[in-house]
Structure 1
Amino acid sequence: MSEADLEARLIDIVRADPVLMQVLTTVRDLGLPDWRLFSGAVYQGVWNVRTGRPVGYGVKDYDIGYFDPDTSWDAEDVFIRRAAAAFDAPLKSLVEVRNQARVHIWFGEHFNEPYEPLMRTDEALGRFVAPAFAVGVRLEADGAISVAAPFGLQDVFDMVIRPNPNRLRATGWDKVIASARARWPELTVVE
């Protein structure tokens, strides 16, 4: 399949997940700057379709990144609280909103590796631990779903996890792989 075909298929998978669409619609209406829903809630939907598992299987949370040049904790907390107020349980505790402009402030200490400041949200995807994880979606004002996948979508649809070629192998790589394989044993891991 071409990249355009894979993107169209991904959009169909996203639209078929009512909880994911609820999250996208609610976050769109919050007006977060330069936002994107990314990581597990997106690629795991593809894996569930590929393996015949139910919609939402294995999804632990919904990671929302946005970009606000104000890197103060107080400014980020305003957006976190706004998002929390927009959702009822259980989504209230599953939607995690983070300012991508602040990641470099805490990442090095938390993961023991350097992290240069970002200039926009989609730039974060290029730093994810694996190309298969580096996919994000946004529900646009006109109802279209835009996709960001700096490494393309082939690994996602092939269920292949390989280290990001643009960074050091992530701290905790083995734990990430073990967690993914426990839920989707069909995965292929390329070390």
Structure 2
Amino acid sequence: MKFESELMNLLESDKALFSILKAVETLNLNDCWIAAGIIRNKVWDTLHSMQTETNDIDVIYFDENEPSINAEKILEAKLNTIMPHLPWSVKNQARMHIKNNLPPYHSSFEGVANFPETPTAIAARINQNKIEIMAPYGLQDLFTCQVRPTPNFTNNSPLHPIFLNRIQEKNWGHTWNKLQIIT
């Protein structure tokens, strides 16, 4: 609960991030959240007393009736009219299981639970003027700077190389030197 309060305070106190949450709320999408790197990086930046550039804003939602990439592009365009020049990336979790050859997801929660690493498996949204947090594996790894694979990406899984490649490509340990990578 302590970490959830800390995260809510971080999101509320960051005007830009709070504006992003409000912009996403206006889409009125089913099971819609901002997720992954933008939240993870905000926490890690705060813990490291630094600020990194936002390279993407992951917006996730769940709509099994319209799983097309075109629908996602239309939503990105809407967000660009609300807050232009931001790196919006909208993904319908109803189709994202295909990427890693997993069974279909039934919610955004299942999508987030199948992100490769625990501190990235996080999402937030504004619902009825309150910030809600989704963290299938909790927030401890995020706030203690531990990066470990989620269950589908552990070292006995065929998806483990995806986790390892992300660690290498993202080079998080170089940017945030307090991180502990647990493979």
Which band: TM-score by shorter chain?
Answer: 0.7 to 0.9
**Offset at residue 166 of structure 1 (A):** 3.2
Does residue 158 (structure 1) correspond to residue 158 (structure 2)? The answer is: no
Match of 1:71 among 64, 67, 73: 67
Amino acid in structure 2 at the alignment position of 1:99: N
Q: Unaligned regions of 5+ residues in structure 2, if any? A: none
1:30-179 correspondence to structure 2 within 5 Å? 30-54=27-51, 57-69=52-64, 70-89=66-85, 91=86, 94-105=87-98, 107=99, 113-141=100-128, 143-167=129-153, 168=157, 169-171=160-162, 173-177=164-168, 178-179=170-171
Provide the C-alpha distance between the structure 2 equivalents of 1:36 and 1:96, rounded to a whole number of angstroms: 12
* Change in CA separation of 1:172 and 1:154 when aligned onto 2, cut-off 3 Å: closer
Using the TM superposition, give the Cα deviation of residue 81 of structure 1 relative to its aligned residue in structure 2, in angstroms: 2.7
TM-score, normalised to structure 2's length?
Answer: 0.87
Cross-structure match for 2:14: 17
Q: State the aligned residue count.
A: 176
1:171 Cα offset (Å): 1.8
Asked if the contact 1:58–1:183 (Cα under 8 Å) also holds between the matched residues in 2, the reply is no
Q: Detail structure 1 runs of 4+ shifted over 6 Å in the superposition.
A: none
Contact 2:116 2:152 in 1 (8 A): no
Task: Say what the alpha-carbon RMSD is for the aligned residues.
Answer: 1.8
Deviations for 1:47-73, whole angstroms, at most 9, x for unmatched residues? 11111113xx24321100011112234
**2:97 and 2:111 in contact (8 A); partners too:** no
Whether 2:175 is the aligned partner of 1:183: answer: yes
Q: Distance in 2 between matches of 1:133 and 1:157?
A: 11
Q: Quote the offset at 1:15 in angstroms.
A: 1.3
Distance 2:68 2:165 in 1: 33
Letter of the 1:62 partner, please give it: I
TM-score, structure 1 length as denominator?
A: 0.84
Structure 1 segments unaligned to the other structure (5+ residues) = 108-112
Q: 1:170 to 1:133 in 2, by over 3 A?
A: farther
Post-superposition shift, 1:179? 2.0
Provide closer, same or farther for how the CA distance between residues 175 and 102 of structure 1 changes in structure 2, counting only shifts above 3 A: closer
